[in-house]
Amino acid sequence: MLNFARCSGSRPVGCRYFSLLRDKNFIGGEWVAASSGKTFQVTNPVNDKVIGIAQDSTPEDAEKAIKVASGSFNMWADLPAKEKGIKLKSLLKLVNSHSDDLAKLITAECGKPLAEAKAEVMYSAGYLEWYAEEAKRIYGEVLAPPNNTRELVVLKEPIGVVGFITPWNFPLAMLVRKAAAALAAGCVCVARPAEDTPFSALALAALVEKAGFPAGTFNVVTSSRSQAGPIGQALCASPQVAGISFTGSTAVGKILYQQCANTVKRLGLELGGNASYIIFPTADLSRAVQGVMGSKFRNAGQACVATNRVLVHESVFDKFSSMLATAVKTQLVSGDGFDPAVNQGPLINEQQFQKVDGIVKDAVSKGARVVSGGGIHPTLKGRFYQPTVLSNITEDMKIYNEEIFGPICPLYKFYSEDEAVTIANSTRRGLANYFYSNDYAQVWRVAKRLESGMVGVNEGLISAAEAPFGGVKESGFGREGSRHGVDDYVHTKYVCFGGLQN
């Protein structure tokens, strides 16, 4: 544990969110240091002040966690589904009762506004509630046999140890979304959270411990970026790990896909997106503008389902562009996420900051017009980028093909439904798409034609525990949330009972 007294006065809101701060790995129900003896600092992206230290673990630590998890698997798997649900409900109560502390820790780690961090905690709680109930609804089947001497039964059984590799942009929610489903199915977990935001995962581990989960069912191993690859490879290579669930970039997802081949693991990949947001002539423009504001600028655009390309019909382009620019200028306030007036935080790290700035500079150098914003924030120090609207976008610009992951909104003009759908589908990504239309024949046509795992119709925020979340093409496979969320964590076993004739 950290010496909490040392953090006195480090933030204007006090140190209450440090009540869940842990500086050790959680392996086998114990808080342990990395075998290397090394640690790394975790800083607040607003001001680069140190929040605390975390363990700089190595593959040796990951292998220890895998071994411990493997030893606890049969005990957890054999627990009645009702008992698993009770444990998850206990964890749910703790997440709810510690929601303020969790939200402050998320804001400190990744810089998002406190209101968004609180929403992330509630979003996480929704998955715990869903899978606490779903644990009792993982059904098998009884099949009609080919003759009267047999009975055919299908069982759903947990696959075993599952490795999670989670991102920094929703550090609590992305871990809970995976772990709740896996634990409900009877699997045990080893998580490696992103190096920018390890404390949210460790805080969840602290609540898992308090909820009384058996030792070894949930384990967290942290590391710096230099050890991320080796730990990921250790998880992929281990024959004791039955599955990997990863949320992150397409490039890293492809590496993990290759590394899992030798052991033929179950794999769930939720990778990057390139979401289009289409505004048809019949759209309610006021609603469409507010939808973009949520879909594009939530978490400063750092979301895999964030709007990446806004396609606007030429008949409403000028009006929509003007309305959006006004909304961006009047509704978005950048700054420290602990300030209640702020709704735009910083970009997570220097690498991401330089990427976003480079994408904008490339577009402007090739003829893009700056409608609003357009550069580094003029009054705030650090990694704050102005919420930006660009038009005159062409296919030769990086912004046309790359996932932005920043508060940059490019506008494209289109002239027909076919053209809009063709543009939306002209990418190897297929996570989410959005469109606004009040022509209900068009709604059904376009929803079916868009090549993505999720489609928002007249809605910019679509994720929910009740719905399956995931993509197609190079945005990955597998689904999180809904009843489909347990599919990656169970085997289907067929059992034939013969010799039943009288």
Q: In sequence order, what are the residues at sequence separation of 6 or more whose Cβ sits closer than 8 angstroms to the Cβ of residue 314?
A: 413, 414, 415
Instruction: Using DSSP, state whether 357 is helix, strand or coil.
Output: helix
Residue 446 forms beta bridges with which residues? Answer: none
Rounded to whole angstroms, how far apart are CA atoms 348 and 42? Answer: 12
Q: How many CB atoms lie within 10 A of CB 97?
A: 11
Our answer to whether residue 209 is catalytic in this structure is no
Residue 454 forms beta bridges with which residues? Answer: 432
Check 120, 195, 270, 417 and give the catalytic one: 270
Assess contact for 53 and 223: CB atoms under 8 A: no
Query: Which one-letter amino acid corresponds to residue 348?
Result: I
Instruction: Using DSSP, state whether 115 is helix, strand or coil.
Output: helix
Rounded to whole angstroms, how far apart are CA atoms 385 and 346? Answer: 7
Query: Which one-letter amino acid corresponds to residue 326?
Result: T
Rounded to whole angstroms, how far apart are CA atoms 293 and 408? Answer: 11
Our answer to whether residue 480 is catalytic in this structure is no
Query: Which one-letter amino acid corresponds to residue 169?
Result: N
Phi, psi of 310 (to 5 degrees): -100, 115
Query: Which one-letter amino acid corresponds to residue 43?
Result: T
Rounded to whole angstroms, how far apart are CA atoms 10 and 195? Answer: 21
β-pairing, 151-158 vs 141-143, is antiparallel
Phi, psi of 298 (to 5 degrees): -60, 135
Rounded to whole angstroms, how far apart are CA atoms 423 and 147? Answer: 54
Q: How far is CA 21 from the centre of its chain?
A: 21
β-pairing, 25-27 vs 30-32, is antiparallel
| Residue ranges of E strands in 236-286 | 241-247, 266-270, 275-279
Check 304, 409, 417, 474 and give the catalytic one: 304
Query: Which one-letter amino acid corresponds to residue 239?
Result: P
Question: Closest by alpha carbon to 180, among 140, 214, 133, 216?
Answer: 133
Assess contact for 178 and 480: CB atoms under 8 A: yes
Query: Buried b vs exposed e over 257-277: b needs ≥16 C-beta within 10 Å?
Result: bebbeeeebbbbbbbbbbbbb
Instruction: Give the residue numbers annotated as catalytic, written as ranges.
Output: 270, 304
